[in-house]
Structure 1
Amino acid sequence: MSITATTTRPVGQLIRDWRERRRLSQLELSVRADISTRHLSFVETGRSKPTPQMILRLTEHLDVPLRERNELLLAGGFAPVYPRHELDAPELASIQAALRHVLDGHDPFPALVIDRYWDLLDANSAVSMLTAGCAAHLLEPPVNVLRLSLHPEGMAPRILNLGQWRAHVLEQLRRRSEQTADPRLVSLHAELLAMPGGVDHTPPTSVVVPLRIRNGDGELAFFSVTSYVQTAADVTVEELAIESFYPADAATARALHGRT
């Protein structure tokens, strides 16, 4: 495991940035964290050096992701406390087994495991229905599933409600970019926004925004459910997500069950 600092900015300034990103006043954060507003002000301006316990208390109440909590600790001159193992590390064997169990159990419906950046980590065989016809270079690891879905050589030509789906995907990405302030996510958002297809913000006529995709002479319609490990104390585990696709209509359900 290797974690290095990505910024040379003082920890107080970083805490202030996160507070402002969460749209909290100093008073609101001080009440939540049970510290004085004066102390918080001194921390943010650099007049007081926070202890590692104070940094962790503030980042918890600011809902800072574990990756960035480690970075704030480093900026404050302290060692990171949250490990970041590779997914195939022995320490994550039980997590990997659980993920594979979920993917296999979801068949014949598509399901995939992605990381913080929507890079594909694992998938079940049904996902091939979604990626059929995509250019080979987009399927070379690491596969970014958002890029794959919106790229003109990816799934985009088969998505029948592309403008609506693009609006949904871009909004998801924008929110995570703002939540994490991750430059890589900001760059990905700019890249996908520049791709053709437009956006359609017309309210959906169903209870969910579907993914409607051409399948031969027919059509498949899905909605998705995203699941996370809620008790994660490892950076990698916190950033894992399972994206499970379910039939949005009876015809799609029949088509999927017909594959088995």
Structure 2
Amino acid sequence: MNISLGGLIKTYRINKRLSQFDVATAIGWNDTSRLSKIEQGRVKPTRPIVEKIMAALNLSSEERGEFLLTGGYLPSDEEITKIIKIVKEKINNWPYPAYLIDFTWRLLACNGATAKTFFIGPEMQKNLINVKPNLLEFAFLPKEILPVEISKGEDEKHCKPFPVAQIAQFKIEQIMRTNEKWYRELIKKMLTNDKFNRLWREITPELYQKTLLDYEYKIVKGNWLNKKITLQFHLLTSRVISDVRFQIVLYFPVEKNTQMFFTKNT
């Protein structure tokens, strides 16, 4: 997020050797004033206008994803379905928890190992694409819905309780998006939760020691098949090349017991 949407439009336009007039004409505008305001950051274009700009710039699918991510445009249901088709096999064949999220942290799809680890019922797993729960919300679910104890951090020594770590990480990753509509609506909704309301005001990113953006260490304690078990994971996150607004999160077992849990409970 080191470049604005307007700056990115200008960069693409110059790289493709197009003038403002070329782009404006392709869109169907009579002059360059509207495009100029967008490039200067004075106006944020609507999604339909963005589609016209991307078409005028003849962007590739990879460039479109970067463009839409920079502008903070949420993936449509059609775009989500398309990406799920691309990554479904990778997620479903992963022997440990794996799931698909977008840049706002909405959970869009997960595999069976994720469902078993976090007690996600079959109907909810099937309906994720419609519900799109945010990972920030998971840290504040009642025990009846999420009956596990989670902590995470840079490594085992620096793990924080799930609510603390989740808020701190969210603030780190979304620091440039606080004025976006989806962000304001999510936080407004979350602030109705008393625990979140208190922690949101108290927690700063500095409380969560993290060096790598795409890695974390996670500990999950719970009761599976009437047996108390502690699972330990390395988590790696990878963006989807064809649309970088989407990320796959892959879990790797830290030790033998965690690995055996999934071998025995498949």
Task: Give the TM-score normalised by the residue count of structure 2.
Answer: 0.55
Aligned pair in 2 of structure 1 residues 149, 223: CA closer, same or farther (>3 Å)? farther
Are residues 1:49 and 2:49 paired? no
CA-atom RMSD in angstroms: 5.1
Equivalent position of 1:229 in the other structure? 240
Deviations, residues 183-228 of structure 1 (Å, cap 9, x unaligned): 2223424627426698693648xxx642211122121122322222
Residue matched to 1:16: none
What's the CA shift string for 1:110-162, capped at 9, x where partnerless?
1111234322222111112332289x999885141414421141437522568
The answer as to 2:110 corresponding to 1:149 is no
Is the CA contact 1:173–1:189 (under 8 Å) kept in the aligned structure 2?
no
Q: Does 1:214 pair with 2:214?
A: no
Shift of 1:251: 2.2
- Percent of counterpart pairs with the same letter? 14
- TM-aligned CA distance change 1:133 to 1:100, over 3 Å: closer
Whose strand fraction is larger, Structure 1's or Structure 2's? 2
2:107 equivalent in structure 1: 120
* Unpaired stretches in structure 2, ≥5 consecutive residues: 5-9, 15-31, 56-63, 65-74, 153-158
Q: 1:255 aligns to what? A: 261
SS in structure 1 at match of 2:262: helix
Q: 1:222 & 1:110 partners in 2: Cα distance?
A: 9
CA distance in 2, matches of 1:137, 1:84: 20
Alignment check: 8 A CA contact 1:170 1:189 kept: no
Looking at structure 1, the residues matched to 88 and 181 of structure 2 have their Cα atoms a distance apart, in angstroms, of 30
Residues 90-109 of structure 1: matches in 2 within 5 Å? 92=82, 95-107=83-95, 109=96
Equivalence for 2:155: none
The equivalent residue for 1:194 is: 197
CA distance in 2, matches of 1:160, 1:88: 29
Mapped contact 2:168–2:207 kept (Cα < 8 A): no
Q: Contact between 1:165 and 1:209, CA under 8 Å: does it hold in 2? A: no
- State the distance in 1 between where 2:148 and 2:265 align: 23
Deviation at 1:31, TM superposition (A): 10
The number of equivalent residue pairs is 207
Matching residue of 1:239:
245
Select 1:176's aligned residue among 164, 174, 177: 174
> Which amino acid is the alignment partner of residue 197 of structure 2?
A
What SS does structure 2 have at the residue aligned with 1:210? strand
Secondary structure of 1:194 counterpart: helix
Instruction: Give 1:255 shift.
Output: 1.7
